[in-house]
């Protein structure tokens, strides 16, 4: 009996010692890491990019290839995966500035704050700035403007994400080696009205009224040694060894962004093209840090535009593939981390009206993004077009009543579109976020968002909001140190991991 009791005690003690020897916090796990540091670090951030957006893209890819189930995104083949919370310091549902600051500096902050503490007094140093100071080359690539919240969080320190002018001045001070993608929103100043205009953050309103013109921030950057490249020919001419390059897309859409993937034409530069060029410029013996943002996933999800959002995810994944191609050449020296700042839209892979049915291939009927289609509706409002005339372009852009049985508009769906037409063409009142109609249309053109909802529902997709959600976000990682990204943690842990791995 005594012997059995002793054995039980020894077993219990052994188990306790085993658990005591295991790291019980992510700080301990980081501190215990003894592996080789990565020389090349890729940090991909999908804005508004949650697990539903990822899985929807996989279901879409399978559907268009005539397959059942899903076709894996390249990022979802990574061996190490985890989840993390996204809350801001002063709100459970975060915003891009607070989330960007958390992902770039490892610190929580308040909504709207860029690279500073919640009181907007103390600047936080980002991992990109620390990498620069340690001799790494640094690059920033994004599909939205270069002074938008997420990219800004890696080089700027401003009390408000709407301080676009001051953010762009910080860009010129950063001394980062490569910027690529969108443009500079307000190089000569912001204006008081713009600083309160949240629509401008989603590419919906570029009409910045400048109260006091200031020294052009692009010229300030040029004085700091930056070269601005604005044509496809000049972009392709950028080569290894070139330094302090700001490559702005030759054709910019709303919000000084790249055109949506669904709207791009043959020959247009993609997020993957900018990622590849950044790799060419940054590769060197000392190593580099490259942040790539798929920024317009968020915008499409704000608009509840399923087809556009999914194609943005696919383009984002193609940019990740560029990093994977590089990784294959340097597998022992390259770390790739893919994450998101928050989920947008409350995307649901299922809709009550379609029960258990899904048909993601139907999304291919859509010809252009919500933004392009809205510009057509606005033009028709000037001519006071009839409902029948509007329905002609609705059917053309979304493929309704095209012969496919599933694409026929029901009597109820026609009523929804007629209500949207009346709200847009007859009422003409601006929808405020406290109005009952905001729940139907958000800040978007009623006909455009209604048509998008109907197409999404036919495909088996639902939306719950025009805003962000607090859903935990997945992270995928491959390369040296990727084991640190397994588990369930907080968004501030991601940059802390990278900082330890790069020995910053």
Residue 51 to residues 87, 151, 293, 475, Cα–Cα distance (Å): 17, 22, 16, 10
Question: In b/e form, how buried is each residue of 302-339, taking b as 16+ CB within 10 angstroms?
Answer: bbbbbbbbbbbbebbbbbbbbbbebbeeeeebbbbbbb
Q: Is the pLDDT of residue 17 over 60?
A: no
Say what the pLDDT of residue 4 is.
47
Structure confidence at residue 504 (pLDDT): 87
Whether the predicted pLDDT of 206 surpasses 90 = no
> Could you identify the residue written with the tokens 């950057």?
221
- pLDDT tens sequence across 260-301: 999 999 989 999 999 999 999 999 999 999 999 999 999 999
Domains (range + CATH), the chain: 40-195+208-347+467-501 (3.40.720.10), 352-459 (no CATH)
Tell me what pLDDT residue 14 has. Answer: 42
Q: What is the pLDDT of residue 204?
A: 73
pLDDT over 70, % of the chain: 92
Whole-structure pTM over 0.85, yes or no?
yes
Over range 18-26, report the average pLDDT.
Answer: 50
Tokens of 22: 């295991």
**Would you state the pLDDT for residue 19?**
34
In this prediction, residue 194 carries a pLDDT of 61
Q: Look at residue 44 and tell me whether its pLDDT is greater than 80.
A: yes
Instruction: Give the pLDDT band (50/70/90) at residue 427.
Output: confident
For residues 308-319, give the mean pLDDT: 98
The per-residue pLDDT of the chain, averaged, comes to 92
The DSSP symbol for 285 reads: T
| Statement: residue 205 has pLDDT above 90 | no
Q: How many CB atoms lie within 10 A of CB 235?
A: 19
Report helix, strand or coil for 280: helix
DSSP state of 136: -
Residue 463 near residue 444 (C-beta atoms within 8 A): no
Per residue in 127-176, pLDDT (tens digit) is 999 999 999 999 999 999 999 999 999 999 999 999 999 999 999 999 99
Task: Answer yes or no: is pLDDT of 3 > 90.
Answer: no
Residue range 483-492: average pLDDT?
96
Predicted local distance difference test score (pLDDT) of residue 35:
84
Residue 504 CA to residue 496 CA, distance in Å, equals 10
Residue among 126, 228, 137, 130 at smallest CA distance from 176: 137
- How does pLDDT run across 208-239, given as a tens digit for each residue? 677 778 999 999 999 999 999 999 999 999 99
SS3 468: strand
Q: Is the pLDDT of residue 498 over 60?
A: yes
Closest listed residue to residue 264, CA positions, set 356, 368, 360: 368
Q: Is the pLDDT of residue 15 over 50?
A: no
Residues composing the chain? 504
How confident is the model over 90-117, as a mean pLDDT? Answer: 98
Between CA 417 and CA 397 the distance in angstroms is 14
Supply the pLDDT for residue 32: 85
Q: Give the pLDDT mean for 15-40.
A: 69
* Rg for the chain, CA atoms, rounded: 24
Nearest CA to 350 out of 48, 65, 59 is that of 59
pLDDT for residue 376 is more than 70 = yes
pLDDT in tens, 76-98: 999 999 999 999 999 999 999 99
**Alpha carbons 279 and 271: distance in angstroms, whole number:** 13
pLDDT of residue 171: 97
Tokens matching residue 3: 């012997």
And the tokens for 223?
A: 């004085």
What integer pLDDT is reported at residue 195 of this predicted model?
60
Average pLDDT over residues 319-331: 98
Percent of the chain with pLDDT strictly greater than 90: 83
* pLDDT for 1 beyond 60: no
Q: Rounded to whole angstroms, how far apart are CA atoms 394 and 369?
A: 12
Max Cα distance, the chain (Å): 96
Residue 198 has pLDDT above 90, yes or no: no
| Band of residue 13 on the pLDDT scale cut at 50, 70, 90 | very low
> Has residue 467 got a pLDDT over 70?
yes
β strands within 309-465, DSSP E: 334-340, 343-344
Bridge partners, 335 (sequence order) = 41
In this prediction, residue 212 carries a pLDDT of 75
């Amino acid at each position: 009996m005594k012997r059995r009791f002793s054995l039980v005690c020894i077993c219990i003690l052994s188990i306790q010692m085993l658990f005591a020897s295991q790291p019980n916090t992510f700080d301990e796990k980081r501190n215990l890491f003894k592996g080789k540091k990565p020389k090349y670090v890729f940090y991909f951030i999908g804005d508004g990019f949650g697990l539903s957006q990822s899985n929807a893209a996989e279901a879409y890819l399978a559907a268009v290839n005539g397959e059942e189930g899903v076709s894996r995104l390249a990022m979802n083949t990574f061996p190490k995966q985890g989840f993390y919370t996204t809350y801001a310091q002063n709100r459970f549902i975060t915003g891009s500035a607070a989330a960007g600051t958390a992902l770039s500096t490892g610190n929580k902050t308040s909504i709207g704050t860029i690279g500073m503490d919640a009181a907007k007094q103390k600047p936080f140093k980002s991992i990109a700035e620390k990498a620069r100071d340690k001799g790494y080359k640094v690059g920033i690539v994004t599909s939205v403007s270069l002074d938008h919240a997420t990219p800004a969080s890696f080089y700027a320190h401003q009390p408000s994400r709407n301080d676009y002018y001051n953010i762009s001045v910080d860009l010129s001070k950063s001394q980062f080696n490569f910027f690529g993608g969108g443009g500079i929103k307000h190089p000569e100043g912001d204006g008081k009205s713009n600083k309160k205009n949240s629509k401008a953050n989603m590419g919906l309103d570029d009409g910045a009224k400048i109260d006091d013109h200031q020294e052009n921030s692009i010229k300030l950057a040029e004085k700091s040694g930056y070269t601005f490249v604005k044509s496809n020919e000049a972009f392709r001419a950028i080569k290894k060894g070139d330094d302090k390059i700001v490559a702005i897309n030759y054709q910019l859409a709303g919000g000084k962004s790249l055109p949506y993937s669904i709207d791009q034409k043959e020959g247009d530069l993609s997020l993957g093209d900018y990622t590849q060029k950044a790799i060419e410029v940054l590769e060197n013996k000392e190593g580099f840090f490259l942040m790539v943002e798929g920024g317009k996933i968020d915008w499409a999800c704000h608009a509840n535009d399923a087809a556009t959002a999914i194609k943005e995810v696919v383009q984002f994944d193609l940019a990740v593939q560029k990093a994977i191609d590089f990784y294959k050449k340097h597998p022992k020296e390259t770390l790739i981390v893919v994450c998101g700042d928050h989920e947008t839209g409350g995307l649901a892979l299922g809709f009550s009206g379609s029960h258990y049915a899904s048909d993601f291939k139907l999304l291919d009927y859509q010809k252009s993004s919500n933004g392009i289609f809205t510009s057509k509706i606005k033009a028709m409002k000037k001519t006071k077009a009839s409902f029948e005339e509007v329905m002609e372009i609705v059917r053309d852009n979304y493929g309704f009543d095209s012969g496919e049985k599933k694409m026929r508009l029901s009597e109820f769906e026609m009523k929804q579109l007629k209500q949207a037409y009346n709200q847009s063409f007859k009422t003409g009142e601006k929808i405020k976020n406290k109005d009952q109609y905001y729940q139907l249309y958000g800040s978007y053109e009623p006909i455009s968002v209604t048509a998008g909802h109907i197409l999404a529902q036919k495909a088996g997709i639902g939306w719950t909001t025009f805003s962000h959600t607090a859903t935990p976000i997945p992270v995928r990682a491959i390369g040296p140190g990727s084991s640190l990204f397994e588990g369930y943690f907080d968004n501030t842990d991601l940059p802390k991991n990278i900082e330890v791995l790069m020995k910053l």
